[in-house]
Amino acid sequence: MRSLILVIFCSFLFSSLSAQSLYVPRDVKKAYANGTRAMDGRPGKNYWQNHARYDITMTAMPPDRNIKGTESITYVNNSPDTLRNVIVKLFLNIHKPGAPREGGANPNYLTSGVHIDNFAVNGTQTKWRENPGLFTWQPVGLKQPLLPHDSVKFNVDWHYEISLESGREGMIDSTTYFLAYFYPRIAVYDDYAGWDVMNFVDSKEFYSDFNDYTVTLNVPKNYVVWGTGTLQKPESLLQPEVLKRFQQSMTSDDIIRVVTKEDLAAKRVTTQNAVNTWQFRATNIPDMAFGLSDHFNWDATSVVVDDKTQRRASAQAAYNDTAADYHYVAGYARHSLNWLSHNWPGIPYPYEKTTVFQGYAGMEYPMMANDETYADTNFSRFVAEHEIAHTYMPFYMGINETRYGFMDEGFATFFENLIGTADLGKEKADELFKQFRVDYWANDHSQEEDISIITYGSGVHWATEYAQQNPDISIDILDLRTLLPLDYEAIRVAVKQTGKVLLLHEDTLIGG
């Protein structure tokens, strides 16, 4: 009888599968129905995105670890919804003791997080209240709801202490800082999930609106600032010879040594005001990040990324002179811009520049990468190419990396393999791919088990219960979920994994 029911169920499943197409989650279905998304992947006729303008002025005076900022945010509600609250993201609260994190935290990574010193909504001073159970985001109620197509202005003063141990951001050394994710920002409110309230737990990355930014950094003399966006008035910041080299690099295919260790020693790099004010601007960009140092070399070159318009993009590197590989990194960055623009994805590099900054992160930011130094220059190039490939995914596409991290890593890894094949040949590129993208997971010894149990339905619970009662046996349980379609690949993996299989099912012996 049960078999008969199963057969009927399976044929029902089969016919409904062939009649419909792939499974569509409810939120996506809703977006199709509302016309904000279209079945072919293009924006629907009712598509919208919210947008903000950030004007940030900040002060960093190394070796003082205090970073202070004052910020205005004009947030525009392009959605058809009335918003009674906003979500403010405070990513650097990941450094607070007790913050949810996917990994552990070294004492040198911990800080007291971001402190909000002043908060105003539409010019009215408002008490900043934090829910102590929340870390990287806080809800903020609006006394006056934000109506569709209206905007609200926030003024925020904040400060934080840069962490001694650098992860995706932090101190590289006592006079080299990498500043990222530092400013309080409004979370994404989108058409299919509403407010993004996912925690930043350090492993999964970010989701951002396309915003406009003006960021002003006050730093001591002899500090150079590299960052996202167009540097305003370089002539007021750089001494004439350095300025000339910097400008030359914008039209030259050669690698120009804009700042060398000799220039740094002779203090002939920046204008000799006690404090220099560096300003960067960018529009329609998901984020801004900056690196600053008083002892980093600066190389720059450029390349035509758009053959039609002859637009060039700048490729730069900022590094400690002792990092031997970094003397080639501007060239690797230039090669990446050129190759990605002309081959895969074959879309002209969408920004004006990229800067690879020596740090510890192996991490991408719009127009920036923060990469370690390596003894093997092939590997330095491999990492630079990967991080620069991320320009397209997630930044240019604006995807939600927190929820769908596989998308941007998938594409960046795919581009990395293609450019690697062009650089080193297929055999070497595939070897690197296997070494860094496959072996670690394929040979994960924590996954090794004594026996595989293939089961479904109640059998899953019996098998789980048995495994718990018999901790001396390491059991791999495969829950088939459906018999039609039957997941042959999962079965093949389960059999191969242990070489021993037990089939467990709840049917009667006869007709089972």
- 321 contacts 261 by C-beta, under 8 angstroms: yes
**Distance (Å, whole) CA 370 – CA 352:** 18
Rounded to whole angstroms, the Cα distance separating 186 from 90 reads: 9
Which range in 256-264, 294-302, 371-379, 403-411 contacts Zn ion by CB under 5 A?
403-411
CB of 365 to Zn ion, least distance (A): 12
Query: Minimum CB separation from Zn ion for residue 20, in Å?
Result: 35
Check residue 384 for interaction with Zn ion (CB under 5 A): no
- Find residue 170's DSSP bridge partners: 178
Build a one-symbol-per-residue string for 43-82: x at contacts with Zn ion by CB under 5 A, - elsewhere. Answer: ----------------------------------------
The encoded tokens of residue 503 equal 């089939």
Count the residues of the shown chain that bind Zn ion, applying the rule CB under 5 A. Answer: 2
Q: Where are the alpha helices (DSSP H) in 343-451?
A: 377-389, 405-424, 426-433, 439-442
Q: Which backbone phi and psi does 153 adopt, to 5 degrees?
A: -115, 130
Strand order across the beta sheet in which 256-259 lies: 256-259, 297-306, 311-319, 353-358, 368-371, 363-365
Contact range with Zn ion by CB under 5 A, out of 46-54, 147-155, 204-212, 407-415: 407-415
d(CA 388, CA 372): 14
Minimum gap (Å) between residue 388 Cβ and Zn ion? 10
CB closer to Zn ion out of 301 and 400: 400
Least gap, CB of 205 to Zn ion (angstroms): 9
Please identify, among the stretches 6-14, 25-33, 88-96, 405-413, the one whose residues bind Zn ion according to the rule CB under 5 A.
Answer: 405-413
**SS3 per-residue string spanning 458-496:** HHHHHHHHHHHHCCCCCEEEEECCCCCCCCHHHHHHHHH
**What is the nearest approach in angstroms of Zn ion to the Cβ of residue 408?**
7
Of 38-46, 50-58, 206-214, 408-416: span binding Zn ion (CB under 5 A): 408-416
Nearest distance in Å: CB 390, Zn ion: 6
Q: Of the ranges 65-73, 75-83, 412-420, 444-452, which one interacts with Zn ion (CB under 5 A)?
A: 412-420
Q: Determine the residue with CB nearest Zn ion.
A: 412
Please name which of 255, 388, 386, 260 lies closest in space to residue 328, comparing C-alpha atoms: 255
Of residues 191 and 385, the one with the C-beta less far from Zn ion: 385
Asked whether position 412 contacts Zn ion by CB under 5 A, the answer is yes
Nearer Cβ to Zn ion, position 130 or 409?
Answer: 409
Please answer whether residues 54 and 213 qualify as being in contact, where contact means their C-beta atoms are separated by less than 8 angstroms. Answer: yes
Q: Give the shortest CB-383-to-Zn ion separation in angstroms.
A: 9
Q: In angstroms, what is the minimal distance from the CB of 197 to Zn ion?
A: 24
Q: Which lies closer to Zn ion via its Cβ, residue 409 or residue 449? A: 409
Contacts for 206 with CB less than 8 Å, ≥ 6 apart: 91, 181, 200, 286, 287, 394, 401, 402
Smaller CB separation from Zn ion, 44 or 345: 345
Q: Which parts of this chain interact with Zn ion (CB under 5 A)?
A: 409, 412
